[in-house]
Chain A
Amino acid sequence: MSASVVWLSAILALPVVGGPLLSHRACRVFPALCRVVLAGAVGGFLLSFTMTLASLAHLRWNASALVFASLLLSAALRRALRGEAAGVEILPPTAGAETASGAFAAAAVAIAFVSTIAGAAASPDLLLFWGPKASAFAAARTIDTAFLAGPAAAWMHPYYPPLATSLYAFATLWAGSFPWTAAALTLPILLASLAAALPPLLRSAAGPGTAAAVSALVVSALALIATEADAAGNADALLWLYEILGLALLLGPRPTPRVALHLAGLLLAGAATTKVEALPFVLAVAFGSAAGQPIRSGRIRAFATLIAPTVLALGSWLVLGRLHHAFSGYGEYGNLLELRLDRTGLVLREVGKALGECAGGLPFLVPAAVVIFCLPRLRHLPLLAAGALALFLGTTYLLPVSDPSLWIEWSAARTLAPVAALLALSVADDRRRRRPKIAAAARSEAPDIAAPSRNEPGE
Protein backbone atom coordinates (compact mmCIF):
# COMPACT_ATOMS: atom_id res chain seq x y z
CA MET A 1 0.00 0.00 0.00
CA SER A 2 2.85 2.41 0.82
CA ALA A 3 4.26 1.97 -2.71
CA SER A 4 0.84 2.95 -4.08
CA VAL A 5 0.72 6.07 -1.88
CA VAL A 6 4.20 7.16 -2.99
CA TRP A 7 3.35 6.48 -6.64
CA LEU A 8 0.11 8.49 -6.39
CA SER A 9 1.89 11.32 -4.57
CA ALA A 10 3.68 12.04 -7.86
CA ILE A 11 0.37 13.56 -8.97
CA LEU A 12 1.13 16.47 -6.61
CA ALA A 13 3.94 17.52 -8.94
CA LEU A 14 1.46 18.24 -11.73
CA PRO A 15 -0.29 21.33 -10.27
CA VAL A 16 3.14 22.60 -9.28
CA VAL A 17 4.22 22.41 -12.92
CA GLY A 18 1.08 24.17 -14.12
CA GLY A 19 1.29 26.68 -11.26
CA PRO A 20 3.24 29.48 -12.97
CA LEU A 21 0.68 29.66 -15.78
CA LEU A 22 -2.45 29.27 -13.65
CA SER A 23 -1.23 31.77 -11.06
CA HIS A 24 -1.47 34.54 -13.68
CA ARG A 25 -3.95 37.21 -12.63
CA ALA A 26 -6.09 36.51 -15.71
CA CYS A 27 -6.73 33.00 -14.37
CA ARG A 28 -8.35 34.40 -11.24
CA VAL A 29 -11.72 34.04 -12.96
CA PHE A 30 -11.54 30.43 -11.82
CA PRO A 31 -12.10 29.53 -8.16
CA ALA A 32 -9.07 28.18 -6.28
CA LEU A 33 -9.92 24.45 -6.48
CA CYS A 34 -10.77 24.72 -10.16
CA ARG A 35 -7.44 26.48 -10.73
CA VAL A 36 -5.58 23.66 -8.95
CA VAL A 37 -7.23 21.06 -11.20
CA LEU A 38 -6.54 23.11 -14.33
CA ALA A 39 -2.93 23.57 -13.19
CA GLY A 40 -2.67 19.80 -12.71
CA ALA A 41 -4.09 19.06 -16.15
CA VAL A 42 -1.89 21.65 -17.86
CA GLY A 43 1.06 20.46 -15.76
CA GLY A 44 0.46 16.86 -16.85
CA PHE A 45 0.52 17.87 -20.48
CA LEU A 46 3.65 20.01 -20.10
CA LEU A 47 5.46 17.27 -18.18
CA SER A 48 4.60 14.69 -20.84
CA PHE A 49 5.67 17.08 -23.62
CA THR A 50 8.96 17.71 -21.82
CA MET A 51 9.51 13.94 -21.52
CA THR A 52 8.96 13.53 -25.27
CA LEU A 53 11.36 16.40 -26.04
CA ALA A 54 13.97 14.90 -23.69
CA SER A 55 13.63 11.56 -25.48
CA LEU A 56 14.06 13.28 -28.83
CA ALA A 57 17.22 14.95 -27.50
CA HIS A 58 18.56 11.61 -26.14
CA LEU A 59 18.48 12.95 -22.57
CA ARG A 60 17.78 10.40 -19.81
CA TRP A 61 14.85 11.25 -17.58
CA ASN A 62 15.41 12.49 -14.08
CA ALA A 63 12.28 13.30 -12.04
CA SER A 64 13.58 16.58 -10.58
CA ALA A 65 15.06 17.79 -13.87
CA LEU A 66 11.81 16.99 -15.69
CA VAL A 67 9.77 18.99 -13.18
CA PHE A 68 12.22 21.91 -13.42
CA ALA A 69 12.19 21.94 -17.23
CA SER A 70 8.40 21.73 -17.29
CA LEU A 71 8.20 24.61 -14.81
CA LEU A 72 10.32 26.71 -17.17
CA LEU A 73 7.96 25.84 -20.01
CA SER A 74 4.97 26.80 -17.88
CA ALA A 75 6.63 30.12 -16.96
CA ALA A 76 7.36 30.78 -20.65
CA LEU A 77 3.71 30.15 -21.54
CA ARG A 78 2.68 32.59 -18.83
CA ARG A 79 4.39 35.28 -20.89
CA ALA A 80 1.85 34.62 -23.64
CA LEU A 81 -0.75 36.13 -21.30
CA ARG A 82 1.32 39.29 -20.81
CA GLY A 83 -0.89 42.34 -20.72
CA GLU A 84 -3.98 40.33 -19.93
CA ALA A 85 -6.02 42.04 -17.25
CA ALA A 86 -7.07 40.46 -14.00
CA GLY A 87 -10.21 38.37 -14.19
CA VAL A 88 -13.13 38.51 -11.81
CA GLU A 89 -13.47 35.32 -9.83
CA ILE A 90 -16.56 33.28 -10.52
CA LEU A 91 -18.47 33.36 -7.27
CA PRO A 92 -18.94 30.08 -5.41
CA PRO A 93 -22.22 28.20 -5.76
CA THR A 94 -25.12 29.23 -3.58
CA ALA A 95 -27.43 26.40 -2.52
CA GLY A 96 -30.27 24.17 -3.67
CA ALA A 97 -29.60 22.40 -6.93
CA GLU A 98 -25.85 22.93 -6.56
CA THR A 99 -25.73 21.15 -3.22
CA ALA A 100 -27.73 18.20 -4.54
CA SER A 101 -25.61 18.06 -7.70
CA GLY A 102 -22.42 18.14 -5.67
CA ALA A 103 -23.72 15.26 -3.57
CA PHE A 104 -24.54 13.17 -6.66
CA ALA A 105 -21.17 13.89 -8.25
CA ALA A 106 -19.42 12.97 -4.98
CA ALA A 107 -21.44 9.76 -4.76
CA ALA A 108 -20.45 8.84 -8.34
CA VAL A 109 -16.77 9.40 -7.50
CA ALA A 110 -17.12 7.38 -4.30
CA ILE A 111 -18.72 4.50 -6.24
CA ALA A 112 -15.85 4.58 -8.73
CA PHE A 113 -13.40 4.49 -5.81
CA VAL A 114 -15.11 1.55 -4.08
CA SER A 115 -15.46 -0.33 -7.35
CA THR A 116 -11.76 0.14 -8.08
CA ILE A 117 -10.68 -0.88 -4.59
CA ALA A 118 -12.95 -3.93 -4.85
CA GLY A 119 -11.10 -4.99 -7.99
CA ALA A 120 -14.16 -4.58 -10.20
CA ALA A 121 -13.11 -1.72 -12.47
CA ALA A 122 -9.49 -2.20 -13.55
CA SER A 123 -8.81 -2.32 -17.26
CA PRO A 124 -7.27 -5.32 -19.06
CA ASP A 125 -5.45 -2.77 -21.20
CA LEU A 126 -3.60 -1.59 -18.09
CA LEU A 127 -2.11 -5.10 -17.86
CA LEU A 128 -1.65 -5.56 -21.58
CA PHE A 129 0.10 -2.36 -22.55
CA TRP A 130 -0.32 0.85 -20.52
CA GLY A 131 1.46 -0.61 -17.48
CA PRO A 132 4.19 -2.57 -19.31
CA LYS A 133 5.02 0.39 -21.53
CA ALA A 134 5.24 2.75 -18.56
CA SER A 135 7.46 0.29 -16.67
CA ALA A 136 9.72 -0.13 -19.70
CA PHE A 137 9.99 3.65 -20.19
CA ALA A 138 10.77 4.20 -16.51
CA ALA A 139 13.43 1.46 -16.57
CA ALA A 140 15.04 2.97 -19.67
CA ARG A 141 14.54 6.55 -18.36
CA THR A 142 13.31 7.57 -21.79
CA ILE A 143 10.60 6.71 -24.31
CA ASP A 144 12.15 3.35 -25.13
CA THR A 145 11.77 3.26 -28.90
CA ALA A 146 13.82 0.04 -29.13
CA PHE A 147 11.24 -1.62 -26.88
CA LEU A 148 8.38 -0.15 -28.93
CA ALA A 149 9.93 -1.42 -32.15
CA GLY A 150 10.64 -4.89 -30.73
CA PRO A 151 8.50 -8.03 -30.77
CA ALA A 152 7.59 -7.70 -27.06
CA ALA A 153 5.56 -4.59 -27.88
CA ALA A 154 3.95 -5.99 -31.02
CA TRP A 155 0.45 -5.95 -29.48
CA MET A 156 1.04 -2.81 -27.43
CA HIS A 157 0.06 -0.29 -30.11
CA PRO A 158 3.50 1.41 -30.22
CA TYR A 159 2.07 4.50 -31.94
CA TYR A 160 -0.47 5.25 -29.17
CA PRO A 161 0.27 8.80 -28.01
CA PRO A 162 2.55 9.07 -24.98
CA LEU A 163 0.85 11.17 -22.27
CA ALA A 164 -0.58 8.37 -20.11
CA THR A 165 2.50 6.16 -20.36
CA SER A 166 4.85 9.09 -19.76
CA LEU A 167 2.96 10.25 -16.65
CA TYR A 168 2.83 6.68 -15.31
CA ALA A 169 6.56 6.37 -16.04
CA PHE A 170 7.19 9.64 -14.18
CA ALA A 171 5.32 8.31 -11.13
CA THR A 172 7.28 5.05 -11.42
CA LEU A 173 10.57 6.96 -11.49
CA TRP A 174 9.37 8.85 -8.42
CA ALA A 175 8.21 5.75 -6.48
CA GLY A 176 10.73 3.20 -7.76
CA SER A 177 8.02 0.68 -8.70
CA PHE A 178 4.78 0.38 -10.65
CA PRO A 179 1.91 -0.57 -8.27
CA TRP A 180 -1.04 -1.76 -10.32
CA THR A 181 -3.60 -0.74 -7.69
CA ALA A 182 -2.29 2.83 -7.70
CA ALA A 183 -2.60 3.02 -11.48
CA ALA A 184 -6.20 1.79 -11.23
CA LEU A 185 -6.94 4.42 -8.56
CA THR A 186 -6.22 7.18 -11.06
CA LEU A 187 -9.84 6.66 -12.21
CA PRO A 188 -11.59 8.02 -9.08
CA ILE A 189 -8.92 10.72 -8.71
CA LEU A 190 -9.48 11.96 -12.26
CA LEU A 191 -13.27 11.80 -11.88
CA ALA A 192 -13.00 13.79 -8.64
CA SER A 193 -10.86 16.36 -10.45
CA LEU A 194 -13.49 16.65 -13.17
CA ALA A 195 -16.27 16.98 -10.59
CA ALA A 196 -14.36 19.79 -8.85
CA ALA A 197 -13.40 21.81 -11.92
CA LEU A 198 -16.35 21.45 -14.27
CA PRO A 199 -19.16 23.32 -12.43
CA PRO A 200 -17.30 26.67 -12.23
CA LEU A 201 -16.27 26.42 -15.90
CA LEU A 202 -19.87 25.77 -16.96
CA ARG A 203 -21.12 28.72 -14.90
CA SER A 204 -19.91 30.95 -17.72
CA ALA A 205 -22.31 29.15 -20.07
CA ALA A 206 -25.33 28.39 -17.90
CA GLY A 207 -26.89 29.32 -14.57
CA PRO A 208 -25.19 27.97 -11.45
CA GLY A 209 -27.88 25.36 -10.85
CA THR A 210 -27.79 24.07 -14.42
CA ALA A 211 -23.97 24.11 -14.47
CA ALA A 212 -23.79 22.00 -11.32
CA ALA A 213 -26.50 19.58 -12.48
CA VAL A 214 -24.91 19.10 -15.90
CA SER A 215 -21.54 18.48 -14.23
CA ALA A 216 -23.10 15.87 -11.99
CA LEU A 217 -24.67 14.18 -15.02
CA VAL A 218 -21.32 14.14 -16.86
CA VAL A 219 -19.47 12.68 -13.86
CA SER A 220 -22.13 10.08 -13.02
CA ALA A 221 -22.36 8.90 -16.66
CA LEU A 222 -18.58 8.57 -16.92
CA ALA A 223 -18.31 6.82 -13.53
CA LEU A 224 -20.96 4.28 -14.52
CA ILE A 225 -19.33 3.59 -17.89
CA ALA A 226 -15.86 3.32 -16.34
CA THR A 227 -16.92 0.83 -13.69
CA GLU A 228 -19.08 -1.22 -16.04
CA ALA A 229 -16.60 -1.29 -18.94
CA ASP A 230 -13.48 -1.71 -16.77
CA ALA A 231 -11.69 1.52 -17.61
CA ALA A 232 -9.72 2.09 -14.38
CA GLY A 233 -6.03 2.54 -14.98
CA ASN A 234 -6.10 2.95 -18.75
CA ALA A 235 -5.91 6.28 -20.56
CA ASP A 236 -9.65 6.87 -20.95
CA ALA A 237 -10.21 8.79 -17.72
CA LEU A 238 -7.28 11.08 -18.54
CA LEU A 239 -8.74 11.64 -21.99
CA TRP A 240 -12.15 12.50 -20.52
CA LEU A 241 -10.62 15.08 -18.18
CA TYR A 242 -8.72 16.80 -20.99
CA GLU A 243 -11.57 16.71 -23.48
CA ILE A 244 -14.35 17.84 -21.15
CA LEU A 245 -12.42 20.63 -19.40
CA GLY A 246 -10.91 21.84 -22.70
CA LEU A 247 -14.32 22.08 -24.31
CA ALA A 248 -16.02 23.58 -21.22
CA LEU A 249 -13.56 26.48 -21.31
CA LEU A 250 -14.89 27.37 -24.76
CA LEU A 251 -18.59 27.40 -23.89
CA GLY A 252 -18.54 30.86 -22.30
CA PRO A 253 -19.35 34.25 -23.82
CA ARG A 254 -18.02 35.21 -27.25
CA PRO A 255 -15.48 36.41 -28.16
CA THR A 256 -13.74 33.74 -26.11
CA PRO A 257 -11.30 35.35 -23.66
CA ARG A 258 -7.61 34.90 -24.51
CA VAL A 259 -6.90 33.05 -21.26
CA ALA A 260 -9.66 30.52 -22.02
CA LEU A 261 -8.30 29.96 -25.53
CA HIS A 262 -4.76 29.41 -24.24
CA LEU A 263 -5.78 26.98 -21.54
CA ALA A 264 -8.19 25.15 -23.85
CA GLY A 265 -5.42 24.81 -26.46
CA LEU A 266 -3.14 23.17 -23.89
CA LEU A 267 -5.90 20.86 -22.61
CA LEU A 268 -6.88 19.83 -26.14
CA ALA A 269 -3.22 19.03 -26.79
CA GLY A 270 -3.32 16.93 -23.63
CA ALA A 271 -6.26 15.02 -25.12
CA ALA A 272 -4.59 14.60 -28.52
CA THR A 273 -1.47 13.18 -26.88
CA THR A 274 -3.49 10.79 -24.71
CA LYS A 275 -5.46 8.75 -27.24
CA VAL A 276 -5.73 8.53 -31.01
CA GLU A 277 -9.46 9.25 -31.18
CA ALA A 278 -8.93 12.65 -29.57
CA LEU A 279 -7.51 14.06 -32.79
CA PRO A 280 -10.85 14.37 -34.65
CA PHE A 281 -12.36 15.70 -31.41
CA VAL A 282 -9.68 18.40 -31.17
CA LEU A 283 -10.08 19.39 -34.82
CA ALA A 284 -13.88 19.60 -34.48
CA VAL A 285 -13.64 21.71 -31.30
CA ALA A 286 -11.02 24.03 -32.81
CA PHE A 287 -13.03 24.54 -36.03
CA GLY A 288 -16.32 24.90 -34.19
CA SER A 289 -15.01 27.31 -31.61
CA ALA A 290 -13.16 29.42 -34.17
CA ALA A 291 -16.24 29.59 -36.41
CA GLY A 292 -18.25 30.91 -33.48
CA GLN A 293 -16.00 33.93 -32.94
CA PRO A 294 -17.69 37.17 -34.03
CA ILE A 295 -14.85 38.71 -36.07
CA ARG A 296 -12.62 37.21 -38.80
CA SER A 297 -9.26 37.98 -37.20
CA GLY A 298 -10.59 36.53 -33.96
CA ARG A 299 -11.50 33.32 -35.76
CA ILE A 300 -8.02 32.84 -37.19
CA ARG A 301 -6.39 33.65 -33.86
CA ALA A 302 -8.71 31.32 -31.96
CA PHE A 303 -8.05 28.43 -34.33
CA ALA A 304 -4.28 28.94 -34.21
CA THR A 305 -4.27 29.20 -30.41
CA LEU A 306 -6.36 26.08 -30.02
CA ILE A 307 -4.50 23.90 -32.50
CA ALA A 308 -0.84 24.99 -32.11
CA PRO A 309 -0.04 23.00 -28.92
CA THR A 310 -1.53 19.85 -30.49
CA VAL A 311 0.54 20.28 -33.65
CA LEU A 312 3.74 20.73 -31.62
CA ALA A 313 3.15 17.94 -29.09
CA LEU A 314 1.71 15.32 -31.41
CA GLY A 315 4.22 16.30 -34.10
CA SER A 316 7.15 15.70 -31.76
CA TRP A 317 5.72 12.26 -30.82
CA LEU A 318 5.28 11.23 -34.45
CA VAL A 319 8.77 12.53 -35.34
CA LEU A 320 10.24 10.51 -32.46
CA GLY A 321 8.55 7.34 -33.71
CA ARG A 322 9.63 7.95 -37.29
CA LEU A 323 13.25 8.85 -36.44
CA HIS A 324 13.70 5.71 -34.34
CA HIS A 325 11.74 3.42 -36.69
CA ALA A 326 9.39 2.51 -33.83
CA PHE A 327 6.19 3.40 -35.70
CA SER A 328 5.03 5.47 -38.61
CA GLY A 329 2.06 7.70 -37.88
CA TYR A 330 -1.28 6.13 -37.09
CA GLY A 331 -0.77 3.55 -39.84
CA GLU A 332 -2.12 0.59 -37.89
CA TYR A 333 -5.56 2.13 -38.21
CA GLY A 334 -5.51 1.11 -41.87
CA ASN A 335 -6.41 2.72 -45.14
CA LEU A 336 -9.56 4.81 -45.28
CA LEU A 337 -9.97 3.78 -48.92
CA GLU A 338 -10.41 0.16 -47.84
CA LEU A 339 -13.40 0.71 -45.57
CA ARG A 340 -15.77 -2.24 -45.40
CA LEU A 341 -18.97 -0.28 -45.95
CA ASP A 342 -20.82 -3.57 -46.41
CA ARG A 343 -20.30 -4.10 -42.67
CA THR A 344 -22.13 -0.91 -41.64
CA GLY A 345 -25.15 -2.85 -40.41
CA LEU A 346 -22.99 -5.31 -38.48
CA VAL A 347 -20.97 -2.51 -36.86
CA LEU A 348 -24.11 -0.60 -35.84
CA ARG A 349 -25.64 -3.77 -34.37
CA GLU A 350 -22.48 -4.65 -32.47
CA VAL A 351 -22.04 -1.11 -31.15
CA GLY A 352 -25.67 -1.08 -30.03
CA LYS A 353 -25.14 -4.41 -28.32
CA ALA A 354 -21.95 -3.25 -26.60
CA LEU A 355 -23.60 -0.05 -25.34
CA GLY A 356 -26.63 -2.05 -24.22
CA GLU A 357 -24.41 -4.35 -22.17
CA CYS A 358 -23.00 -1.34 -20.32
CA ALA A 359 -25.54 -1.00 -17.47
CA GLY A 360 -28.38 -1.62 -19.91
CA GLY A 361 -27.25 1.33 -22.00
CA LEU A 362 -28.34 3.76 -19.26
CA PRO A 363 -25.24 6.00 -19.29
CA PHE A 364 -25.88 6.67 -23.00
CA LEU A 365 -29.68 6.63 -23.10
CA VAL A 366 -30.18 8.94 -20.12
CA PRO A 367 -28.06 11.87 -21.44
CA ALA A 368 -29.67 11.36 -24.87
CA ALA A 369 -33.13 11.58 -23.27
CA VAL A 370 -32.13 14.78 -21.44
CA VAL A 371 -30.98 16.27 -24.75
CA ILE A 372 -34.31 15.42 -26.40
CA PHE A 373 -36.25 17.01 -23.53
CA CYS A 374 -34.13 20.17 -23.76
CA LEU A 375 -34.52 20.64 -27.53
CA PRO A 376 -34.01 23.11 -29.17
CA ARG A 377 -31.97 24.93 -26.49
CA LEU A 378 -28.69 23.10 -26.99
CA ARG A 379 -25.03 24.10 -27.34
CA HIS A 380 -23.75 23.28 -30.80
CA LEU A 381 -20.05 22.87 -29.98
CA PRO A 382 -20.42 19.73 -27.79
CA LEU A 383 -22.78 18.21 -30.35
CA LEU A 384 -20.31 18.91 -33.16
CA ALA A 385 -17.51 17.29 -31.15
CA ALA A 386 -19.72 14.31 -30.27
CA GLY A 387 -20.62 13.86 -33.94
CA ALA A 388 -16.99 14.02 -35.06
CA LEU A 389 -15.93 11.51 -32.42
CA ALA A 390 -18.77 9.08 -33.16
CA LEU A 391 -18.12 9.32 -36.91
CA PHE A 392 -14.41 8.66 -36.43
CA LEU A 393 -14.99 5.67 -34.17
CA GLY A 394 -17.67 4.27 -36.47
CA THR A 395 -15.33 4.64 -39.44
CA THR A 396 -12.53 2.96 -37.48
CA TYR A 397 -14.70 -0.07 -36.81
CA LEU A 398 -15.29 -0.32 -40.58
CA LEU A 399 -11.60 -0.77 -41.30
CA PRO A 400 -10.74 -4.14 -42.86
CA VAL A 401 -10.03 -6.28 -39.80
CA SER A 402 -11.02 -9.95 -39.87
CA ASP A 403 -13.99 -9.58 -37.49
CA PRO A 404 -14.70 -6.31 -35.66
CA SER A 405 -17.23 -7.86 -33.23
CA LEU A 406 -14.82 -8.67 -30.41
CA TRP A 407 -13.01 -5.34 -30.84
CA ILE A 408 -16.31 -3.46 -30.58
CA GLU A 409 -17.40 -5.53 -27.57
CA TRP A 410 -14.15 -4.64 -25.76
CA SER A 411 -13.93 -1.00 -26.64
CA ALA A 412 -17.17 0.65 -27.80
CA ALA A 413 -18.59 1.65 -24.40
CA ARG A 414 -15.27 3.16 -23.25
CA THR A 415 -14.42 4.96 -26.46
CA LEU A 416 -17.94 6.32 -26.91
CA ALA A 417 -18.14 7.48 -23.28
CA PRO A 418 -17.16 11.07 -24.22
CA VAL A 419 -20.18 11.15 -26.56
CA ALA A 420 -22.47 10.58 -23.55
CA ALA A 421 -20.66 13.33 -21.64
CA LEU A 422 -20.79 15.71 -24.61
CA LEU A 423 -24.53 15.15 -24.98
CA ALA A 424 -24.90 16.17 -21.34
CA LEU A 425 -22.69 19.23 -21.88
CA SER A 426 -24.86 20.39 -24.77
CA VAL A 427 -27.64 21.06 -22.26
CA ALA A 428 -25.54 23.70 -20.45
CA ASP A 429 -27.12 26.62 -22.22
CA ASP A 430 -28.23 30.03 -21.11
CA ARG A 431 -28.42 32.47 -23.99
CA ARG A 432 -28.12 35.49 -21.68
CA ARG A 433 -24.66 34.26 -20.70
CA ARG A 434 -23.37 34.16 -24.27
CA ARG A 435 -23.08 37.97 -24.27
CA PRO A 436 -19.65 39.21 -23.20
CA LYS A 437 -19.51 41.56 -20.24
CA ILE A 438 -16.63 43.57 -18.93
CA ALA A 439 -15.33 42.63 -15.52
CA ALA A 440 -16.93 45.43 -13.56
CA ALA A 441 -20.30 44.93 -15.18
CA ALA A 442 -20.09 41.23 -14.52
CA ARG A 443 -19.61 41.86 -10.80
CA SER A 444 -22.49 44.28 -10.48
CA GLU A 445 -25.03 42.76 -12.86
CA ALA A 446 -24.43 39.05 -12.91
CA PRO A 447 -22.04 38.03 -10.16
CA ASP A 448 -21.64 34.42 -11.21
CA ILE A 449 -20.66 35.11 -14.79
CA ALA A 450 -17.06 34.52 -15.82
CA ALA A 451 -16.04 37.82 -17.32
CA PRO A 452 -13.59 38.04 -20.20
CA SER A 453 -10.62 40.34 -19.76
CA ARG A 454 -11.03 44.04 -20.31
CA ASN A 455 -8.76 44.25 -23.33
CA GLU A 456 -10.51 41.51 -25.27
CA PRO A 457 -10.97 42.54 -28.92
CA GLY A 458 -14.46 43.30 -29.98
CA GLU A 459 -15.43 44.99 -26.74
Chain B
Amino acid sequence: MKRAALLPLAASALLVAAAALRLPRPYSLLSAETNPFRRTLSPFDGRLYALARAAAPSIPVGARVAVESGSGRAGDSIYCAMVARSLLPGRDVRAVPAAPGWKPEFLIRVGARGAARPPEARPIFRLAEGDVWKLAS
Protein backbone atom coordinates (compact mmCIF):
# COMPACT_ATOMS: atom_id res chain seq x y z
CA MET B 1 0.00 0.00 0.00
CA LYS B 2 1.38 3.46 -0.93
CA ARG B 3 2.22 5.99 1.77
CA ALA B 4 -0.07 8.51 0.07
CA ALA B 5 -2.98 6.20 0.86
CA LEU B 6 -1.74 4.80 4.14
CA LEU B 7 -1.48 8.13 5.94
CA PRO B 8 -5.07 9.35 5.37
CA LEU B 9 -6.30 5.83 5.99
CA ALA B 10 -4.60 5.69 9.41
CA ALA B 11 -5.89 9.18 10.18
CA SER B 12 -9.41 8.10 9.30
CA ALA B 13 -9.10 5.05 11.55
CA LEU B 14 -8.02 7.29 14.42
CA LEU B 15 -11.00 9.63 13.97
CA VAL B 16 -13.47 6.75 13.68
CA ALA B 17 -12.08 5.25 16.89
CA ALA B 18 -12.39 8.62 18.66
CA ALA B 19 -16.00 8.95 17.47
CA ALA B 20 -16.85 5.40 18.54
CA LEU B 21 -15.47 6.01 22.03
CA ARG B 22 -17.73 9.02 22.39
CA LEU B 23 -20.95 7.22 21.52
CA PRO B 24 -23.57 6.90 24.27
CA ARG B 25 -23.53 3.59 26.18
CA PRO B 26 -25.25 0.84 24.16
CA TYR B 27 -27.90 0.09 26.79
CA SER B 28 -29.05 3.71 26.75
CA LEU B 29 -29.92 3.37 23.06
CA LEU B 30 -32.62 0.83 23.84
CA SER B 31 -34.96 3.50 25.21
CA ALA B 32 -38.36 3.45 23.51
CA GLU B 33 -38.57 7.23 23.83
CA THR B 34 -37.82 9.14 20.63
CA ASN B 35 -36.24 12.41 21.62
CA PRO B 36 -33.65 13.63 19.12
CA PHE B 37 -32.39 16.24 21.59
CA ARG B 38 -32.11 14.26 24.82
CA ARG B 39 -28.30 14.06 24.90
CA THR B 40 -27.33 17.26 23.11
CA LEU B 41 -24.99 19.89 24.56
CA SER B 42 -27.83 22.27 25.45
CA PRO B 43 -29.22 21.49 28.92
CA PHE B 44 -32.71 22.60 27.89
CA ASP B 45 -33.47 21.27 24.39
CA GLY B 46 -34.11 17.64 25.33
CA ARG B 47 -36.21 18.52 28.36
CA LEU B 48 -38.26 21.07 26.45
CA TYR B 49 -38.81 18.60 23.64
CA ALA B 50 -40.17 16.01 26.08
CA LEU B 51 -42.31 18.56 27.92
CA ALA B 52 -43.68 20.24 24.81
CA ARG B 53 -44.53 16.95 23.13
CA ALA B 54 -46.41 15.77 26.20
CA ALA B 55 -48.08 19.15 26.73
CA ALA B 56 -49.08 19.89 23.13
CA PRO B 57 -52.45 18.05 23.28
CA SER B 58 -53.39 19.93 26.49
CA ILE B 59 -52.42 23.41 25.34
CA PRO B 60 -54.76 24.67 22.63
CA VAL B 61 -53.57 26.72 19.69
CA GLY B 62 -53.74 30.41 20.58
CA ALA B 63 -53.16 29.82 24.31
CA ARG B 64 -50.77 32.06 26.26
CA VAL B 65 -47.87 29.99 27.60
CA ALA B 66 -45.17 31.17 29.99
CA VAL B 67 -41.85 29.32 30.12
CA GLU B 68 -39.41 29.27 33.02
CA SER B 69 -35.97 27.69 32.77
CA GLY B 70 -35.68 26.65 36.41
CA SER B 71 -32.11 27.95 36.54
CA GLY B 72 -33.19 31.33 37.84
CA ARG B 73 -31.38 33.11 34.98
CA ALA B 74 -33.51 35.33 32.74
CA GLY B 75 -31.35 34.51 29.70
CA ASP B 76 -32.07 30.81 30.10
CA SER B 77 -35.82 31.45 30.29
CA ILE B 78 -35.66 33.56 27.12
CA TYR B 79 -33.81 30.73 25.33
CA CYS B 80 -36.37 28.20 26.60
CA ALA B 81 -39.22 30.38 25.36
CA MET B 82 -37.62 30.59 21.91
CA VAL B 83 -37.32 26.80 21.73
CA ALA B 84 -40.82 26.23 23.15
CA ARG B 85 -42.25 28.56 20.51
CA SER B 86 -40.85 26.23 17.84
CA LEU B 87 -42.20 23.14 19.55
CA LEU B 88 -45.66 24.61 20.27
CA PRO B 89 -46.54 26.40 17.03
CA GLY B 90 -49.54 28.70 17.12
CA ARG B 91 -49.28 29.39 20.86
CA ASP B 92 -48.26 32.74 22.34
CA VAL B 93 -45.12 31.61 24.18
CA ARG B 94 -43.12 34.05 26.32
CA ALA B 95 -40.37 33.88 28.92
CA VAL B 96 -40.95 34.46 32.62
CA PRO B 97 -41.01 37.23 33.73
CA ALA B 98 -43.15 38.46 30.84
CA ALA B 99 -44.27 41.99 30.13
CA PRO B 100 -46.73 43.46 32.66
CA GLY B 101 -50.35 42.97 31.63
CA TRP B 102 -49.69 39.74 29.77
CA LYS B 103 -51.46 36.99 31.72
CA PRO B 104 -50.40 33.43 30.86
CA GLU B 105 -52.87 30.52 30.84
CA PHE B 106 -50.20 27.83 31.11
CA LEU B 107 -46.77 27.60 32.71
CA ILE B 108 -43.99 25.28 31.58
CA ARG B 109 -41.20 24.88 34.12
CA VAL B 110 -38.07 23.19 32.82
CA GLY B 111 -36.25 21.20 35.49
CA ALA B 112 -36.81 22.83 38.90
CA ARG B 113 -37.91 19.60 40.58
CA GLY B 114 -39.40 20.26 43.97
CA ALA B 115 -40.03 23.95 43.20
CA ALA B 116 -43.00 25.56 44.88
CA ARG B 117 -46.44 25.12 43.33
CA PRO B 118 -47.42 28.26 41.42
CA PRO B 119 -50.35 30.07 43.12
CA GLU B 120 -53.82 28.97 42.00
CA ALA B 121 -52.38 26.49 39.52
CA ARG B 122 -53.48 23.00 38.56
CA PRO B 123 -50.79 20.53 37.48
CA ILE B 124 -51.31 19.07 34.03
CA PHE B 125 -48.39 16.68 34.43
CA ARG B 126 -44.98 16.41 36.04
CA LEU B 127 -42.08 14.66 34.36
CA ALA B 128 -38.44 14.20 35.25
CA GLU B 129 -37.77 16.98 32.71
CA GLY B 130 -40.06 19.51 34.42
CA ASP B 131 -43.74 20.27 34.88
CA VAL B 132 -46.65 21.93 33.10
CA TRP B 133 -49.36 23.89 34.94
CA LYS B 134 -52.77 25.29 34.05
CA LEU B 135 -52.94 28.71 35.65
CA ALA B 136 -56.06 30.35 37.03
CA SER B 137 -57.62 32.62 34.42
Contact = CB atoms under 8 A, between A and B. Distances in A.
A359 B16 contact: no
Interface string B70-91: 0000000000001101110100
A117 B28 CA distance: 11
B1 A216 contact: no
Given A100-B9, A207-B2, A228 B22 contact: yes
Nearest to A420: B15
Contacts of B38: 119-120
Given A114-B29, A132-B85, A224-B18, A119 B8 contact: no
A182 B65 CA distance: 27
Contacts of A217: 8-9, 11-12, 15
Task: Determine the main DSSP class of B at the interface with A.
Answer: helix
Nearest to B33: A119
A115 B25 CA distance: 10
B23 interface: yes
Contacts of A246: none
Contacts of A220: 12, 15-16, 19
B63 interface: no
A210 B4 contact: yes
Nearest to A410: B41
A313 B130 CA distance: 45
A395 B1 CA distance: 42
Contact of A210 (B2, B12, B13): B2
A118 B29 contact: yes
B57 interface: no
Contacts of B11: 217, 366-367, 369-370, 424
Interface stretch (A65-73, A121-129, A303-311): A121-129
Contacts of A117: 29
Given A128-B86, A152-B85, A209 B1 contact: yes
Nearest to A369: B11
Contacts of B87: 127
B36 A107 contact: no
Given A223-B19, A427-B8, A128 B83 contact: yes
A221 B85 CA distance: 34
Interface string A416-440: 0000000010010110000000000
B119 to A, nearest CB: 30
B4 A207 contact: yes
B7 A108 contact: no
Contact of A128 (B2, B36, B41, B82): B82
Interface string A201-215: 000001101101110
Interface stretch (B42-50, B98-106, B110-118): B42-50
A221 B16 CA distance: 8
A132 B84 CA distance: 11
Most buried by A among B9, B35, B38: B9
17 contacts: A101-B12, A104-B9, A108-B12, A118-B23, A118-B24, A124-B41, A132-B85, A132-B86, A181-B36, A210-B4, A213-B6, A216-B9, A217-B12, A219-B12, A223-B19, A424-B11, A427-B7
- Give the 10 A-B CB pairs with smallest separation, nearest first: A209-B5, A120-B39, A119-B38, A216-B12, A220-B15, A213-B9, A213-B8, A217-B8, A122-B36, A184-B36
